Amino acid sequence: MRILFITSNRVGDAVLSTGLLDHLLQRFPTARFTIACGPVAAELFARMPRAERVIAFEKRRFGLHWLGLWGRCAGGFWDLVVDNRGSMLGFFLLHRRQARLRRRRGPKIAEIGAILGLDPPPLPVVWTTPEDRALAARLLPSGPPIIALGPTANWSGKIWPAERFAELYSALSESLLPGARAAVFAGPGAAERAMAAPLLARLPGAIDLCGRLTLHEAAACLGRVALYIGNDSGLMHLAAAAGTPTLGLFGPTQAAEYAPAGRAARAVVASGPDMVDLSVAAALRAATALLAQAQAA
């Protein structure tokens, strides 16, 4: 059986779709998968079982990326085409069955689950290897609990001030997670490093993991921390998928749609439209409730 799974060019949306993939892996234990996604999300599927091929395709003007993807998928027969993008591509491929995303209000994770009629929707997952987990153990050895902080985002309006991240970490390490160390996560590149720099300057003893990890290595590291706190980003969704208690910080973006989805995950929303409208006190209350939820699970 051959399954074509078309998912997002953005890391966060692609992470949210992994639960649907995991459902298909379990439902069709002998199926072979081809994943089509954006280049930055392709790493997510490098460790996926039975992934025969990962096709990374760049968005192009006038929708020409769909023509290119069709050319790479049209040479065979598909038993199932699952399209998280809601495109028309499946209609132009030889297939037995297709399932397409249909836009709906509410959580993105529910919209994705509805592609296959799944309610509740399956939670996101991550795939890592023993090598990934061994690297994570070296970078984040056992000992005091670790609070992971994600101070970056894909645009400045989603970024909580560095001084508030530092203040929240201090409060948590003095009360709920006494003696905890900080680990700062960010993606590759100079822009991500620049966004993380103000927080690193305020936490000179923090473990600096900015730009040092692939997505699957980051997932393995996040699986070892006691708590993740970060802006609305792909990294936030990755932390929740790794099973880590995850607190997403929201201001101008819609938490009702893009809150982290995981075994212990929640969002805290600013009282106004800007991230400066999110107080440390509100974030601390949300983190306290989240940790209580995680301990009770």
Residues 169-203: tens digit of each pLDDT: 999 999 999 999 999 999 999 999 999 999 999 99
Least confident of 29-33, 66-70, 107-111, 220-224: 66-70
What is the predicted pLDDT for the residue at 190?
95
pLDDT of residue 118: 98
Which tens digit of pLDDT belongs to each residue from 264-275? 999 999 999 999
Rounded CA gap, 224 and 226, in Å?
7
The span from the CA of 92 to the CA of 2, in Å, is: 16
Does residue 75 surpass a pLDDT of 90?
Answer: no
pLDDT at 258 over 90: yes
Q: Look over the chain and give the mean of its residue pLDDT values, rounded to a whole number.
A: 96
Token pair, residue 46, equals: 């490098």
User: H-helix or E-strand containing 158?
Assistant: none
- pLDDT confidence band for 296 (50 / 70 / 90): confident
With 0-12 / 13-18 / 19 or more C-beta atoms within 10 angstroms meaning exposed / middle / buried, residue 193 is middle
pLDDT tens digits for range 115-174? 999 999 999 999 999 999 999 999 999 999 999 999 999 999 999 999 999 999 999 999
For residue range 84-123, what is the model confidence (pLDDT) as tens digits?
999 999 999 999 999 999 988 899 999 999 999 999 999 9
**pLDDT over 80 at 297, yes or no:** no
Cβ(38)–Cβ(259) below 8 Å = no
**From CA 202, how far away is CA 85, in angstroms rounded?**
41
**Model confidence, pTM:** 0.96
On whether the CB atoms of residues 152 and 235 are closer than 8 A, the answer is yes
Q: How confident is the model at residue 63 (pLDDT cuts 50, 70, 90)?
A: confident
Please say if the pLDDT value at position 73 is more than 90. yes
What average pLDDT does the segment 222-238 reach?
A: 98
Annotate 109-123 with b (16+ C-beta within 10 A) or e (fewer): bbbbbbbbeeeebbb
Classified as helix, coil or strand, 58 is coil
What is the sign of the dihedral through the CA atoms of 243, 248, 253 and 255?
Answer: positive
69 — pLDDT class (breaks 50, 70, 90): very high
| Cα distance between residue 85 and residue 128, in whole Å | 25
d(CA 84, CA 121): 14
pLDDT attached to residue 197 = 98
Fold of 2-116: Rossmann fold (3.40.50)
Dist. CA 289–CA 255, nearest whole Å: 17
* Domains of the chain, residue spans: 2-116, 130-296
- CATH number among 3.50.50.60, 2.120.10.30, 3.40.470.10, 3.40.50.2000, domain 130-296: 3.40.50.2000
Instruction: Give residue 104's pLDDT.
Output: 86
How far is Cα 203 from Cα 200, in angstroms, rounded to an integer?
5
Cβ atoms 185, 244 nearer than 8 A: no
User: pLDDT band at 246, cuts 50/70/90?
Assistant: very high
Asked if domains 2-116 and 130-296 share a fold, the reply is yes
Q: Which of 11, 10, 9 is nearest to 240 (CA)?
A: 11
- What's the Cα-to-Cα distance from 290 to each of 20, 126, 143, 225, 265, rounded to whole Å? 25, 21, 22, 14, 7
Output 67 or 277, whichever has higher pLDDT.
Answer: 277
Look at residue 58 and tell me whether its pLDDT is greater than 90. Answer: no
Number of other residues whose CB lies within 10 A of the CB of residue 41: 23
